Amino acid sequence: MAPRKRPEAQKTPSAVMRLRSKSSPQELEPEAKKLRVKGSGSSRRYDSGCLWAGLASLQVPPPCSSIVRALHQHKLGKAAWPSLQQIGAGGSITALKFNLLNTNQFFASSMEGTTRLQDFKGNTLRVFTSSDTCNVWFCSLDVSANSRVVVTGDNVGHVILLNTDGKELWNLRMHKKKVTHLALNPCCDWLLATASVDQTVKIWDLRQIRGKASFLYSLPHRHPVNSACFSPDGARLLTTDQKSEIRVYSASQWDHPLGLIPHPHRHFQHLTPIKATWHPRYNLIVVGRYPDPNFKSCAPYELRTIDVFDGSSGKMMCQLYDPESSGIISLNEFNPMGDTLASAMGYHILVWSQEEADEK
């Protein structure tokens, strides 16, 4: 039998390096091709440049070399980009961290059952963990360059701490189910947050771990949790569940959420888990929206936007949307200056640049 042809998908570039220009907004059409973005508590509508305009009003220093310019120079794959050996279907990378001591290297955990250090030539420099079975794989990873430690978690609840030389320091089952995310506090790298599909986030002191019950705090959630991220100053923790809730916790009271933000980002098997993240310099939360008809405030033909919230009040500040790239945005990552945002959507990457917004 001849294979069935896939329906022709909308032609979407590998990277969208364009922001919507400021123009007179129009009513949202059923085809959801028009941009309509609301600010919280106001009837005013914003375009996707409002985030950068708002940051500019806060006197952001001139941006450093832009990732957009670098992408232009490399022509998105037409130049001699280093090629990494792929491991085929089912072998996806589950977490990746650059080696801050050598920018030509990165740490990666994967579904092939390893956590390793690689370079951009495809060489494996060190294997930290290997499950040697297809039933166990590694789902999460974080690295501290100061303490020279690597921490990784697997799909059955184990968390393993190693030094960067590969020596295992301990291996404990800290959760009942998959460890979806690990985060070391950027200011106190002995403080570890672990998130799991067992509907908990736990905070640990790496200096005092004696067993699975030695956590400092356990933060119960109503649904499985995709991520737990410390703020850049280390004073707050941002969690994203697999349904419709984003939480902010404060170091002054880790065991009680400082704020709850209702937000549609439900999870299903073939979707990269949606994870909220912090802006590196300002008190802003950025997360992709997956409209849910069962969500209380869902509107007809709601767009799959990138939502920006105030980290203190939880109010919507603005939304980003490109009508030519209407997929679900699962991951968002700022550059260190915070003037460029890269968003992952399926096979594509969207790049939002403050420089381009200023040119409009």
- pLDDT per residue as tens digits for the range 243-278: 999 999 999 899 899 999 999 999 988 888 999 999
Sign of CA dihedral 96, 357, 231, 264: negative
Q: What is the pLDDT of residues 18-72, one digit of tens each?
A: 333 333 333 333 333 333 333 333 333 344 444 554 444 443 333 333 444 444 4
Exposed/middle/buried for 268, CB within 10 Å: 0-12, 13-18, 19+?
exposed
Report the C-alpha gap between 315 and 298 in whole angstroms. 16
The H-or-E segment that residue 153 falls in is strand 149-154
Report the C-alpha gap between 178 and 240 in whole angstroms. 15
CB of 243 within 8 A of CB of 266? Answer: yes
Mean pLDDT rounded to a whole number for the chain: 79
Beta-carbon contacts of residue 233 (< 8 Å; ≥ 6 apart): 186, 187
Q: What pLDDT is recorded for position 270? A: 80
Residue 133 has pLDDT above 90, yes or no: no
Give the percent of the chain with pLDDT over 70.
73
